[in-house]
Amino acid sequence: MKFRPALSVAILPLMMLAACGGNADDAPSDGEVDPASQAALNDPIMVDPDLAGQNEANAALTGGGGASLPAELTTPAAIQAAMEEAMALVGGSVHLKPAPKAKAVAGEIPETAVLTAASRAAVLPGGADCAAAAEYSAVWAARLPVTFPVYPRGSTQEAAGTDKGQCSLRVVNFLTPVGLDDVLSFYHSRAVNAGYTSEHLKVGNDNIISGTKGAASFVVYARRQAGGLTDVDLVTSGR
């Protein structure tokens, strides 16, 4: 087993929000985080990179494996093609909605934030510890919910997930040469068009779009790299 840094960056904040975002009746009487949540907070997601190599079909999902993309994927023509495919996936320009203006959060995420509810639904549904059950394999990128695919022509760097018990968790890190605002608008549009709530927060260097629909949830962490690429962690939960 090997610790995968990109996936832990996406999972650990969700675990902290989920542990803090429950109802008062669910919290331990002494004010401490329950043991299962504490273990998930302390233990980074452990995944096996060897699993990705067991199926040749995964080759199309694994991307470049680093923090860069092949030159042919970053040309103006390639970027335009990706944006046109994204436009088609949201049903045309009439259904492409700009992401709402980000609410800057300097301290702790409020318990009333949509992100808190989305985090709890993703990693602790019904008290299950889905982060601990997640397994690394690039194939999980192909098992994302239809509503929240990897951005068209995005290059998946890492992926993990689980369908064990009450869990239906997907965590995917990918790179795209498409601009940050366009990526955020794509996921916001996919969410609201499918009946999800959608909230936009700015926490540190991350722009975070998150929302829920019943027991299902999604969280998108996106940030601009120095080289001009958009780096995205996409977390979904719910069948």
Q: How many domains does the chain have?
A: 1
Distances (CA, A) of 29 to 26, 125, 128, 143: 9, 21, 20, 39
Per residue in 215-226, pLDDT (tens digit) is: 999 999 999 998
Per residue in 62-74, pLDDT (tens digit) is: 333 346 899 999 9
Is the pLDDT assigned to residue 131 strictly greater than 70? yes
Report the distance separating Cα 97 and Cα 136, nearest Å.
33
Per residue in 20-60, pLDDT (tens digit) is: 544 433 433 333 333 433 333 333 333 333 433 333 333 33
DSSP 37: H
**pLDDT value for 209:** 95
DSSP 74: S
Is the pLDDT assigned to residue 111 strictly greater than 90? no
Query: By the 8 A CB rule, do 13 and 173 touch?
Result: no
**Arithmetic mean of pLDDT, 75-90:** 97
Report the distance separating Cα 19 and Cα 14, nearest Å.
8
- Please report which helix (H) or strand (E) contains residue 11, including its range: helix 5-20
Per residue in 159-197, pLDDT (tens digit) is: 999 999 989 999 999 999 999 999 999 999 999 999 999
Which residues constitute the domain of residue 100?
2-237
DSSP string computed for 93-107: GGG--PPPPPEE--S
